[in-house]
Amino acid sequence: MKAVTVKKIKDELSYKNSKELIDLCLRLSKFKKENKELLTYLLFEASDEEMYLESVKEQIDELFEQINPKSYFYIRKSVRKILTLTKKFIRYSQKKETEVELLLYFCQKLKNFTPSINKSPRLLNTFERQVVLIKKAVATLHEDLQFDYQAEIDDL
């Protein structure tokens, strides 16, 4: 089976009544955890972006606390996992402010992590790449927000 285009799906959904749409959404949510997480965000958390940011930051904190600092191999592996999760939460929101906030928070946690990331070129590259992505996202924001975020970027 080959998947159809988004336009065809959109057209087909326009012919469905609300009961059929609810059934489709529920069925979709049963197949993948990401689908359920996205529906959770859209239904319950999209209206309060600040609360969403705080809950994601708490998850990032917990994951950074669970990192095994014995070896840079384990640190890199855990940091990649945290970054993947952070990017997933950014995709759910699709707001540039959320992207900047979460990536800044991730970079601050990574910079303050002990042992220092300066001893691992791979971790430094990960850090620097995220700073580049933050700068790119900040460039698309309003001038006042750009100024505020630029100060935080300079602190990194």
What was the pLDDT predicted at 150? 85
Residue 141 dihedral angles phi and psi, to the nearest 5°: -85, 175
Residue 76 dihedral angles phi and psi, to the nearest 5°: -60, -45
Residue entry with tokens 């995709």: 91
What was the pLDDT predicted at 88? 95
What was the pLDDT predicted at 89? 94
What was the pLDDT predicted at 2? 83
| pLDDT tens by residue, the chain, 156 residues | 888 898 988 888 899 999 998 888 888 888 889 989 988 998 899 899 999 999 999 999 999 999 999 999 999 999 999 999 999 999 999 999 999 999 999 999 999 998 889 999 999 999 999 999 999 999 998 888 888 888 888 887
Signed CA dihedral, 77, 79, 80, 85: sign only: positive
Q: Whole-prediction pTM value?
A: 0.86
Residue 140 dihedral angles phi and psi, to the nearest 5°: -90, -5
What was the pLDDT predicted at 26? 87
Give CA separation, 79 vs 76, 124, 148, in Å: 5, 11, 26
- Structural tokens at position 17: 């009544």
